[in-house]
């Protein structure tokens, strides 16, 4: 193994990057230092996922990330530029300029240094971008939280981008088979933006090791499912119909990264997330500490914060705020409208928790995330109201007033205390239920979405797969 590694490093000095990485036509060779950094990183693909291990100081981690994920980051940036332009009718460069003055100065030094080196790694692989663009890309919540307030001042009349996505639960104590924590989550997003198929293993020189789901080029999770070697597990669902953003606050992605890397307890994690909160990406966070068996729900609005904790019971998330202050003063949700996705899924979670009390384990968690029961129709019918969301099947006007919108659940992840102690979790890419999505067929049948041609991608059915920190390619 050491001999092979030495050969790899020698080749790095002698072979043009474009030949080595197959990522560009660049002819600039790697430096000895850069090659050394890459020798400690790992990238491989399995069951639709990309596993990436990065380690060391911020400059080392960033370069490893940017270089090894260059093609993937370039594609995600391409999609985001097109998505932003269509949704807002504004230039992407305009957003980057705004973010440069509003967001970049508020990113903590370590995270910003890592982003700087992501850009350096991209450049070495032949992909041109800038630190300010990658910061704006990490601050993707600007589209759903900052932009609606700005466009109102500008007189734009287009619908606001959706902020309703994801289904999740966490349980402990008498709810689970072994009385330890079980956590499950599936990510809902518009299918063209379904790029959160990265399992990122971060081993920083300082702070806690993180294993999390993310998207190419993000220094945070974004889809928000993580475990750390401090014994913390966590996930979230966005708070639907939320309004509020403070341009002077600290962006969510930098608060998340600092909390997840630096915190050793639920209290520390929540304190970091609350400090400087700008209201962007307002979430109901479901957290667990496998050292104590305690679980918590942190609901972070802008003006109001909700917090609950327990060592016996459960919390669920379906995009409906549970804290009454956040619900009444910071959202426009009607918690009684059973036709609404968030309300229907909230009811379904309660049914499943009651039916499964004392029997929740990893396998049952997988079945929850693949559930297709619509409590409004009172039958199995995969649509916008089911825990495994399929908004492309929605025949009534769903969230945002759009029927048959290509969006919904694009993955599923589960972890229990035993897995978390080993820094591992199980994940399934594609629909949580395993139903494949055919982009070509969908666009043929739904020509109203023809603007998505070139960015809407098919997702075949994939199996459940377990990932762990420090793994190597088979």
The whole domain housing 142 covers 43-154
Q: What pLDDT was estimated at residue 396?
A: 79
Q: What pLDDT was estimated at residue 384?
A: 93
Whether residue 384 is contained in a domain is answered as yes
User: With contact defined as beta carbons under 8 Å apart, do 340 and 316 qualify?
Assistant: no
Q: What pLDDT was estimated at residue 17?
A: 34
Last residue within a domain, chosen from 128, 154, 180:
154
Domain count, the chain: 3
Same structural domain, 16 and 96: no
Same structural domain, 283 and 176: yes
Same structural domain, 101 and 31: no
Same structural domain, 232 and 305: yes
End-to-end CA distance of the chain: 14
Q: What pLDDT was estimated at residue 4?
A: 38
Whether residue 454 is contained in a domain is answered as yes
Sheet holding 465-468, edge to edge: 313-317, 167-172, 182-186, 411-416, 424-429, 465-468
Tell me how far apart the alpha carbons of residues 311 and 10 are, in angstroms, rounded to a whole number.
54
Whether residue 201 is contained in a domain is answered as yes
Q: What pLDDT was estimated at residue 153?
A: 87
Tell me how far apart the alpha carbons of residues 150 and 89 are, in angstroms, rounded to a whole number.
13
Query: Cα dihedral sign for 397, 402, 403, 408?
Result: negative
Same structural domain, 212 and 271: yes
Same structural domain, 255 and 138: no
Same structural domain, 195 and 295: yes
Whether residue 474 is contained in a domain is answered as no
Which residues are registered as beta bridge partners of 315? 170
Whether residue 345 is contained in a domain is answered as yes
Sequence-distant (6+) residues with CB within 8 A of 218 are 137, 138, 198, 253
Q: Which two tokens mark 198? A: 């990265």
Same structural domain, 449 and 360: yes
- Helices 252-262 & 266-274 angle (0-180, nearest 10): 160
Tell me how far apart the alpha carbons of residues 318 and 241 are, in angstroms, rounded to a whole number.
12
Could you identify the residue written with the tokens 């508020």? 106
Same structural domain, 143 and 231: no
Same structural domain, 329 and 241: yes
Using 50 as the pLDDT threshold, list the residues of the chain that sit under it: 1-25, 27
Q: What pLDDT was estimated at residue 163?
A: 54
Same structural domain, 140 and 175: no
Last residue within a domain, chosen from 120, 154, 188:
154
Number of neighbouring beta carbons within 10 Å of residue 306:
18
Q: What pLDDT was estimated at residue 160?
A: 59
Tell me how far apart the alpha carbons of residues 184 and 415 are, in angstroms, rounded to a whole number.
7
Sequence-distant (6+) residues with CB within 8 A of 116 are 59, 62, 131
């Amino acid at each position: 193994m050491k001999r092979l590694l030495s050969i790899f490093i020698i080749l790095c000095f002698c072979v043009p990057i474009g030949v080595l990485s197959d990522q560009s036509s660049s002819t600039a060779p790697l430096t000895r230092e850069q090659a050394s950094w890459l020798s400690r990183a790992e990238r491989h693909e399995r069951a639709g996922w990309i596993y990436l291990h990065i380690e060391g100081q911020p400059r080392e981690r960033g370069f490893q990330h940017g270089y090894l994920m260059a093609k993937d980051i370039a594609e995600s940036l391409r999609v985001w530029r097109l998505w932003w332009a269509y949704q807002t009718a504004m230039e992407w460069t305009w957003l980057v300029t705004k973010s440069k003055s509003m967001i970049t100065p508020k990113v903590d030094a370590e995270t910003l240094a890592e982003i700087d080196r992501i850009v350096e790694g991209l450049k070495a692989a032949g992909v041109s971008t800038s630190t300010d663009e990658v910061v704006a890309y990490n601050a993707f919540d600007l589209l759903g939280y900052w932009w609606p307030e700005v466009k109102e001042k500008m007189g734009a009349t287009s619908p606001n981008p959706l902020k309703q996505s994801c289904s999740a639960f966490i349980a402990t104590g008498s709810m689970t088979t072994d009385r330890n924590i079980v956590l499950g989550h599936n990510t809902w997003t518009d299918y063209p933006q379904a790029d959160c198929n990265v399992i990122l293993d971060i081993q920083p020189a300082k702070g806690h090791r993180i294993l999390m789901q993310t998207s190419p080029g993000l220094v945070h999770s974004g889809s928000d499912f993580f475990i750390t070697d401090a014994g913390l597990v966590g996930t979230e669902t966005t708070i639907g119909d939320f309004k509020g953003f403070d341009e002077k606050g600290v962006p969510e992605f930098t608060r998340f990264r600092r909390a997840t890397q630096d915190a050793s307890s639920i209290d520390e994690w929540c304190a970091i997330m609350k400090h400087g909160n700008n209201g962007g990406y307002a979430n109901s966070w479901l957290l667990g500490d496998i050292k104590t068996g305690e679980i918590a729900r942190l609901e972070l609005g802008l003006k109001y914060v909700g917090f609950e904790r327990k060592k016996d019971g459960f919390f669920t998330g379906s995009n409906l705020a549970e804290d009454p202050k956040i619900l009444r003063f910071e959202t426009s949700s009607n918690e009684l409208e059973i036709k609404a996705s968030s309300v229907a899924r909230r009811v379904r979670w309660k049914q499943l928790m009651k039916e499964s009390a004392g029997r929740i384990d990893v396998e049952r968690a997988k079945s929850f995330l693949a559930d297709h029961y619509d409590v409004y129709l009172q039958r199995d019918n995969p649509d916008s109201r089911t825990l495994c969301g399929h908004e492309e099947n929605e025949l009534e006007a769903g969230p945002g007033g759009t029927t048959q919108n290509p969006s919904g659940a694009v993955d599923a992840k589960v972890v229990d205390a035993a897995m978390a102690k080993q820094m591992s979790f199980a994940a399934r890419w594609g629909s949580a239920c395993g139903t494949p999505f055919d982009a070509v067929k969908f666009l043929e049948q739904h020509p109203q979405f023809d603007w998505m041609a070139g960015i809407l991608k098919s997702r075949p059915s994939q199996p459940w797969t377990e990932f762990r920190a420090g793994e190597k390619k088979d």
